[in-house]
């Protein structure tokens, strides 16, 4: 049986959005919003319990919500999660939701380039300069071809940058991937043309 290899280009290219969720790699396996609300509610009620009391309350809650837990387990397994779902639930409610503040937060507006990871910008410039050196400036080399090559060469770097770009690293959605990809494409295209013009002036 042949295993299909999914590249970062498949994951972040906007054209791929019409494909089923299973066709792109899942960066994080998330609970559904209603279930996250239940976990958050439980965590706040038992926020100041001792560890023993917290675990006992969790056992009781789990027993009272078997059907909901089973449905959530099925959801995660269908998404590709192969770990211990119940352990994931407990760790989330104990170490994330219990410590998460419910006070509204105000995030400062992002600067236009603040979200673009500096190592990504450096990798873009290095790759474009390398392409220009190995190809004549007036060749058929295009920003689109260069961008495709960049994504394949720097998949891990882009994934790390998406995690940093996400306002909530615990929940990386398709919308976040698309938003970052659009910024990355625009940035790559601008730097491609700027570097090309700069090199043309030197010739």
pLDDT, tens only, 105-156: 555 444 434 457 788 999 999 999 888 887 765 566 788 888 888 888 888 8
Mean pLDDT of the chain: 75
> What's the pLDDT band for 58 if we cut at 50, 70, 90?
very high
- pLDDT greater than 50 at residue 6: no
Q: Which of these, 61, 111, 107, lies nearest to 86 by C-alpha position? A: 61
What is the 8-class DSSP label of residue 101?
-
> What's the pLDDT band for 29 if we cut at 50, 70, 90?
low
Residue 157 tokens, joined? 């770097």
CA 31 – CA 72 distance, rounded (Å): 7
CA distances from 16 to 21, 22, 41, 150, 174 (A): 10, 11, 36, 18, 11
Query: Residue 139 in 3-state DSSP?
Result: coil
CA 29 – CA 81 distance, rounded (Å): 7
- pLDDT greater than 80 at residue 50: yes
> What's the pLDDT band for 93 if we cut at 50, 70, 90?
confident
If you average pLDDT over residues 150-179, what whole number do you get? 77
pLDDT at residue 136 in the model:
60
DSSP string, 53-71: HHHHHHHHHHHHTHHHHHH
pLDDT at residue 126 in the model:
92
Residue 188 tokens, joined? 């790559």
Helices (H), the chain: 8-12, 33-45, 51-64, 66-78, 85-91, 118-134, 143-153, 155-165, 174-202
Q: Residue 8, Cβ neighbours under 10 Å: how many? A: 22
Q: Measured in Å, how far apart are the chain's first and last C-alpha atoms?
A: 53
């Amino acid at each position: 049986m042949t295993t299909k290899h999914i590249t970062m280009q498949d994951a972040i290219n906007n054209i791929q959005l019409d494909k089923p969720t299973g066709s792109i790699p899942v960066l994080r396996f998330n609970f559904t919003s209603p279930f996250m609300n239940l976990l958050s509610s439980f965590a706040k009620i038992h926020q100041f319990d001792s560890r023993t009391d917290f675990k006992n309350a969790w056992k009781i809650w789990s027993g009272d919500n078997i059907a909901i837990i089973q449905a959530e387990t099925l959801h995660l397994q269908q998404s590709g999660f192969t770990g211990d779902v119940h352990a994931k639930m407990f760790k989330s409610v104990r170490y994330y939701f219990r410590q998460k503040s419910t006070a509204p937060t105000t995030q400062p507006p992002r600067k236009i380039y603040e979200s673009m990871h500096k190592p990504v910008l450096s990798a873009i410039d290095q790759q474009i300069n390398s392409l220009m050196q190995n190809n004549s400036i007036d060749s058929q080399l295009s920003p689109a071809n260069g961008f495709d090559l960049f994504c394949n060469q720097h998949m891990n770097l882009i994934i790390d940058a998406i995690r940093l770009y996400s306002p909530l690293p615990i929940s990386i959605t398709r919308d976040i991937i698309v938003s970052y990809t659009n910024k990355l494409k625009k940035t790559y295209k601008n730097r491609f043309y700027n570097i090309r013009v700069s090199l043309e002036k030197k010739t």
